[in-house]
């Protein structure tokens, strides 16, 4: 294949813009010729998501790529941690095989924490020997986020073996250390970990940057740290990368990393610093063969209208036009169903909480954040059982083990906002058990059972209705077209808000309520968990 593109070329390495005639031969940039013509469009390196869990889009990789290229994305650093918690190494292989079927740069990591902790039930285990074997493969380019920061700090033998494997194979190690500062932070990153995408405060991120760490500015469907962290780009342009981390299907349909770029440019940040964060820094850190519009590079680039609107006109990957004016030329791929779902239907009585005191611990959801707070609030008791207090927005939360039959874990949560009904999901980081929040046991049970019957999905239930988006692949994905998935998701999201939820993304926020490695208070299938002390705690405050 041979063709020529004429446009204003943005060279982010030389930091200059000039009218150019670019020749592409056999997927490569064969030549770049400066020309004396007035051109109206711009070409620049394609965008890269520096850290994303494809599974959170509820789409298989091939379908994720079909949508992402519309937004100028040509590649992702993808952590298959979610499917690995369900299916182990076989889940990683599933993602790689599906990704191979489309023209897109997927770079996968070896999931470092499967399960994320020993305080929850996952569907599989990936140990240090598995990690070593994964990292020996060329398609695995890094050790994915090391969430077990206590294990690093206190020299857990299994954790250290995983870190040593990455060093042996000369592959970078991603970090995950929300709120970690001071000596603990230094110990953690001095173990060879080089990035963090979990900073939720400016001071925290600044301390890590000064320690030499690469910081990923995250703007996903639930966690939104862009506004807080983007000022750091001015002082540390070589250490900043853009990522989404988690992107639900409705948000992916709207935008991807192009949203980071547009917002940063609109806020007045330097063009070359912004584009570094969206491409160059990622390519250099992970040693990727993605092109940067230099002679000899892969022809991976995008064409935009201008630097104000930053509208994506065309996306090229290895010289192939994969998207133009909002139309993707990547075809949907049929994906086989794999799963691990073995629990039985539940009864409303399974969700009751016998009162053991007047004061309860309550998970306080913070909209737009993954962290939560611990509140102590007087309980509402009826007939000897602690109940949801709808008036005070204290609702019941439950986590159901999806892998085998076990007692249901229950607690209380604030700020979800439902006035009636219940919502549930088994897109629930990291073990993908079923998480449900509701105003009463009957509706919670109904929402949970909808997911059990479908062997995966997200749901909503009231006395008179039952909605479910089925996710048969590992219980967290589907191979349906993204537009269809987004439409179903939007319907559920809208209905949850009609029932009273004030959260911007109720289902995405719900999915993190079982994520024990993010403080402060979370719920696993084994019980209420304090993410600061890293131990279980009681629902009732008896001290």
Query: What value does the mean pLDDT take over residues 395-403?
Result: 98
Q: Is the pLDDT of residue 368 over 90?
A: no
Residues 6 or more apart in contact with residue 20 via CB below 8 angstroms: 6, 7, 8, 9, 32, 33, 34, 35, 43
Do 290 and 249 meet the contact criterion of CB atoms below 8 Å apart?
no
Percentage of the chain modeled with pLDDT above 90: 93
Token digits of residue 464: 């008179």
| pLDDT score at 215 | 98
Least confident piece of the model among 12-21, 138-147, 508-517:
508-517
| pLDDT score at 542 | 82
Distance, in Å, from the CA atom of 258 to the CA atom of 324, rounded to the nearest integer, reads 15
| pLDDT score at 406 | 97
- Give Cα 32 distance to the centre of its chain: 37
Return mean pLDDT, the chain. 96
Distance, in Å, from the CA atom of 515 to the CA atom of 424, rounded to the nearest integer, reads 15
Q: Is the pLDDT of residue 532 over 90?
A: no
Distance, in Å, from the CA atom of 520 to the CA atom of 516, rounded to the nearest integer, reads 8
| pLDDT score at 357 | 92
Q: Is the pLDDT of residue 35 over 70?
A: yes
Place of tokens 């890269």: 48
Query: What value does the mean pLDDT take over residues 513-528?
Result: 94
From residue 16, how far is each of 60, 283, 303 by CA, in Å?
Answer: 38, 19, 16
3-state SS, residue 507: helix
pLDDT tens profile 321-350 = 999 999 999 999 999 999 999 999 999 999
Q: How confident is the model at residue 543 (pLDDT cuts 50, 70, 90)?
A: low
Fold classification of 46-289 (topology level)? TIM Barrel (3.20.20)
Query: What value does the mean pLDDT take over residues 107-125?
Result: 95
Count Cβ atoms within 10 A of the Cβ of residue 450 and give its class: 0-12 exposed, 13-18 middle, 19 or more buried: buried
More confident residue, 31 or 149: 31
pLDDT tens profile 58-104 = 999 999 999 999 999 999 999 999 999 999 999 999 999 999 999 99
pLDDT tens profile 479-512 = 999 999 999 999 999 999 999 999 998 998 998 8
Looking at residue 278, the DSSP 8-state letter turns out to be I
Do 326 and 317 meet the contact criterion of CB atoms below 8 Å apart?
no
Q: Which of 495, 503, 203, 402 is nearest to 512 (CA)?
A: 503
Query: What value does the mean pLDDT take over residues 154-167?
Result: 96
Do 13 and 37 meet the contact criterion of CB atoms below 8 Å apart?
no
Distance, in Å, from the CA atom of 306 to the CA atom of 457, rounded to the nearest integer, reads 40
| pLDDT score at 345 | 98
Do 483 and 96 meet the contact criterion of CB atoms below 8 Å apart?
no
User: The dihedral of CA 100, 102, 103, 105: what is its sign?
Assistant: negative
| pLDDT score at 117 | 85
Place of tokens 């294949």: 1
Q: How confident is the model at residue 369 (pLDDT cuts 50, 70, 90)?
A: confident
- All CATH 3.20.20.140 domain ranges of the chain, comma separated, are 46-289
Inter-helix orientation angle 89-99/61-68, to 10°: 40
More confident residue, 80 or 368: 80
| pLDDT score at 1 | 74
Distance, in Å, from the CA atom of 386 to the CA atom of 94, rounded to the nearest integer, reads 43
Query: What value does the mean pLDDT take over residues 124-153?
Result: 96
Strand bridging mode 394-400 / 385-387:
unpaired
Distance, in Å, from the CA atom of 411 to the CA atom of 406, rounded to the nearest integer, reads 16
Angle at 493 between CA 490 and CA 494, to 5 degrees: 85
Buried b (16+ CB within 10 A) or exposed e, 32-62: eeeeeeeeeebbbbbbbbbbbbbbbbbbbbb
CB atoms under 10 Å from CB of 467, counted, come to 19
Q: Is the pLDDT of residue 221 over 80?
A: no
pLDDT tens profile 166-218 = 999 999 999 999 999 999 999 999 999 999 999 989 999 999 999 999 999 99
| pLDDT score at 443 | 98
Q: Is the pLDDT of residue 222 over 80?
A: no
Q: How confident is the model at residue 269 (pLDDT cuts 50, 70, 90)?
A: very high
Do 365 and 508 meet the contact criterion of CB atoms below 8 Å apart?
no
pLDDT tens profile 403-456 = 999 999 999 999 999 999 999 999 998 899 999 999 999 999 999 999 999 999
Distance, in Å, from the CA atom of 537 to the CA atom of 296, rounded to the nearest integer, reads 58
């Amino acid at each position: 294949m041979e063709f020529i593109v004429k446009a204003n070329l943005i060279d982010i390495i030389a930091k200059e813009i000039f009218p150019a005639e670019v020749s592409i031969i056999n997927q490569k940039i064969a030549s770049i010729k400066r020309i004396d013509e007035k051109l109206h469009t711009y070409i620049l390196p394609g965008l890269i998501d520096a850290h994303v869990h494809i599974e959170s889009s509820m789409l298989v990789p091939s379908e994720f790529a079909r949508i992402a290229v519309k937004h100028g994305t040509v590649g992702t650093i993808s952590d298959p941690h979610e499917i690995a918690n369900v299916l182990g190494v076989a889940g990683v292989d599933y993602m790689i095989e599906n990704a191979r079927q489309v023209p897109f740069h997927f770079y996968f990591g070896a999931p470092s924490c499967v399960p994320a902790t020993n305080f929850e039930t996952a569907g599989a285990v990936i140990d240090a020997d598995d990690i070593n074997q994964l990292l020996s493969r060329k398609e695995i380019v890094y050790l994915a986020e090391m969430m077990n920061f206590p294990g690093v700090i206190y020299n857990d033998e299994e954790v250290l073996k995983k870190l040593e494997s990455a060093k042996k194979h000369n592959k970078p190690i991603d970090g995950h250390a929300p709120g970690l500062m001071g000596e603990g932070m230094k110990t953690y990153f001095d173990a060879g970990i080089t990035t963090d995408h979990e900073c939720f405060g400016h001071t925290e991120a600044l301390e890590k940057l000064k320690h030499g760490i690469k910081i990923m500015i995250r703007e996903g469907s639930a966690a939104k740290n862009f506004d807080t962290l983007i000022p750091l780009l001015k002082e540390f342009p070589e250490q900043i990368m853009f990522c989404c981390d988690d992107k639900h299907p409705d948000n992916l349909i709207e935008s991807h990393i192009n949203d980071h770029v547009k917002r940063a440019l609109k806020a007045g940040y330097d063009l070359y610093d912004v584009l570094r964060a969206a491409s160059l820094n990622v390519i250099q850190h992970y040693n990727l063969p993605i092109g940067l519009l230099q002679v000899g590079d892969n022809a991976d680039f995008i064409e935009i209208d201008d630097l104000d609107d930053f509208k994506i006109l065309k996306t090229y990957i290895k010289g192939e036009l994969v998207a133009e004016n909002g139309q993707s030329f990547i075809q949907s791929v049929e994906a086989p169903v794999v799963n691990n779902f073995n629990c039985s239907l539940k009864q409303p009585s399974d969700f009751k909480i016998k009162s053991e005191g007047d004061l309860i611990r309550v998970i306080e959801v913070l909209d737009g954040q993954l962290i939560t707070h611990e509140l102590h609030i007087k309980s509402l008791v009826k007939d000897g059982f602690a109940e949801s207090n709808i008036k005070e927005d204290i609702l019941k939360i439950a986590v159901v083990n999806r892998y085998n039959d076990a007692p249901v874990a229950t607690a209380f949560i604030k700020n979800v906002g439902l006035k009636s009904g219940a919502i549930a999901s088994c897109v629930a980081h990291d073990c993908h058990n079923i998480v449900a929040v509701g105003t009463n046991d009957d509706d919670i049970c109904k929402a949970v059972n909808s997911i059990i019957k479908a062997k995966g999905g997200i749901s909503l239930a009231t006395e008179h209705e039952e909605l479910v988006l089925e996710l048969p692949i590992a219980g967290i994905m589907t191979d349906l077209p993204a537009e269809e998935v987004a439409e179903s998701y939007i319907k559920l999201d809208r209905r949850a808000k009609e029932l009273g939820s004030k959260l911007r993304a109720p289902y995405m926020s719900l999915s993190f309520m079982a994520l024990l490695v993010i403080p402060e208070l979370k719920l696993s299938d084994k019980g209420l968990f304090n993410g600061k002390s890293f131990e279980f705690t009681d629902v009732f405050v008896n001290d």
